[in-house]
Amino acid sequence: MEMNSLKQQVEEISGIPLTVMEMGMAEWESLAAKASEVANGTHNGLLRLENRYIWLWKRKSTSSVQILEADAASLTETEAKLIGLLIAGTRDAGKASPAKKDEESRSIELGVWIEECLDREDLHAAVPENMALKSRLQTPMLPLLVSWENRAGQGVAFSKLYKLLRSYFGGDLLLIPIKEDWMILVSEALLTDLREESEEGADNERDLLGALCQGLYELISNEWVGGGCHLAVHELISGDHHIARAALALRETLRIGHLFDVTEHIHLPWELQLERLVSSIPAEDRERFINETSGHQGIFADEEMRTTLETFFQMDCNVSETAKRLYIHRNTLMYRIDKIKQETGLDVRTFRDAVLINLELLLYKVTKRA
């Protein structure tokens, strides 16, 4: 029930005018401390402070609460306690268990807390003890982040996405809304099963995570047609004090991935290390480098040549594999490579020149799209 509806019903029953307010958590705790010194201080979220009664309605976030208050001269203490019971009963109505919140409300509460941590740049904060999900954040978990283009994800229901994710991962997980994005935390047990089915090794595990993300992206894209999404993954975290830092890292991975390659929808941090380094270069230094190599801009502005270079680097500078990926004849690719050398003086078939061209291409992208 909404607070204003509750206020109206209590006023009709009691005949006592009530005032709806919102206050900070610190102020509420200060009032509670003062009330504890007064006879009959608290009862069912009720505070008695000199000339007024205050009832707690609910915690709006980790930093604020909603309350109702009335003039203490207008009602007796017994009436105040009865109103407190009515408010408490209405607040808890419809819950399966008064002491247990449903999965969505618990996830929303955690998402609000994460966003507050990011706003104040407190990346190592531990989840508050009073949050119901804290106990489920103590084991190693794999964080992922799903973000929709053009706010298309705003129409996605928690229950539908949660059910879809459980069907994909086949086990326990947490789905946390953080503004327009969705953070997913999956138990490490899933990765343990995948590791047992494959060879050991860091590169192989990254391949497993890449395949996991690919399957998840395809599932979500097929379910919500018309709303393209982006997906990022993070390394395993252990302990709730890493969750805010992981959320920030996932957002940064999405930002960098989308900045450097707008056609990609799956962004893996270990594939964006060079891009992260380039994006950290001050804008003034980037512009100066671009100006010094301004004669190469025609190559990067040409979509066909830019795609050729991107594919060539993705294929580890392998001419045959690049030609196959681009569906062109090897001689056509060699013609393009020779044209790049003619216009830039750099031969991408050599290591040093390939590194320089790749850096110039990345700087061109971040400068044009930033």
Q: What is the CATH number of the domain that holds 175?
A: 3.30.70
Q: Give yes or no for residue 226 having a pLDDT over 60.
A: no
Neighbour-count burial for 15-50, b at 16+ CB within 10 Å, e otherwise: eeebeeeebeeeebeeebeebeeeeeeeebbbbbee
Is 266 a member of any domain? yes
Q: Are residues 268 and 349 in the same domain?
A: no
Among 61-75, 174-188, 256-270, 313-327, the least confident range: 61-75
Q: Which residues have CB under 8 Å from 117's CB, separation 6+?
A: 123, 125, 244
The yes-or-no verdict on residue 231 having pLDDT over 90 is yes
Residue 64 CB neighbours (<10 A): 14
Whether residue 114 has pLDDT greater than 90: yes
Q: Confirm whether 351 is domain-assigned.
A: yes
Say yes or no: 298 and 259 in one domain: no
20-24, 200-204, 265-269: least confident range: 200-204
Residue (of 236, 251, 156, 115) closest to 165 by Cα position: 156
pLDDT at 132: 87
Q: Is residue 97 part of a domain?
A: no
Domain boundary, last residue among 92, 119, 150? 92
Question: Is residue 276's pLDDT more than 80?
Answer: yes
Q: Are residues 79 and 179 in the same domain?
A: no
Question: 37 falls in which pLDDT band (50, 70, 90)?
Answer: very low
| pLDDT number for residue 203 | 59
* Co-location of 23 and 169 in the same domain: no
Give me the phi and psi of 196, to 5 degrees please. -65, -25
Regarding whether 226 and 173 lie in a shared domain, the answer is yes
58 with 133, same domain: the answer is no
Give the CATH number, domain containing residue 296: 1.10.10.2840
Percent of the chain with pLDDT over 90: 31
φ/ψ (deg, to 5) at 200? -80, 160
User: Residue 223 belongs to what domain range?
Assistant: 103-275
Say which residue the tokens 């604020």 belong to: 64
Structure tokens at 61: 């976030």
State which of 49-53, 125-129, 291-295 shows the largest mean pLDDT: 125-129
Distance, in Å, from the CA atom of 32 to the CA atom of 20, rounded to the nearest integer, reads: 18
Q: What average pLDDT does this structure show over 157-180?
A: 88
How confident is the model over 7-18, as pLDDT tens digits? Answer: 777 777 777 888
Q: Which of 255, 275, 295 is the last residue of a domain?
A: 275
Q: Note whether 125 and 191 are same-domain residues.
A: yes
Same domain, 29 and 74: yes
Report the distance separating Cα 237 and Cα 126, nearest Å: 13
User: What is the model's pLDDT at position 295?
Assistant: 63
Quote the pTM value.
0.64
In degrees and rounded to multiples of 5, residue 153 shows phi and psi of -80, -5
Q: Provide the mean pLDDT of the chain.
A: 82
d(CA 128, CA 111): 13
CB atoms closer than 10 angstroms to residue 118: 17
Q: Region 180-206: what's the mean pLDDT?
A: 75
* Residues sharing a CB contact under 8 Å with residue 113, sequence separation 6 or more, in sequence order: 61, 62, 127, 128, 131
Co-location of 232 and 322 in the same domain: no
Total tally of structural domains belonging to the chain: 3
Which of these, 173, 168, 172, 192, lies nearest to 184 by C-alpha position? 173
For residue 86, how many other CB atoms are within 10 A of its CB? 17
Task: State the Cα–Cα distance between residues 67 and 214, nearest whole angstrom.
Answer: 47
| Same domain membership, residue 163 and residue 258 | yes
Q: For residue 193, name the pLDDT band (cuts at 50, 70, 90).
A: low
**98 lies in some domain:** no
- Residue 98: the pLDDT is 39
pLDDT at 2 over 80: no
- On whether both 293 and 258 belong to a single domain, the answer is no
Among 275, 293, 308, where does a domain finish? 275
Q: Which tokens is 324 given?
A: 């196959």
Query: Do 18 and 88 belong together in one domain?
Result: yes
* Residue 23, domain member (yes or no): yes
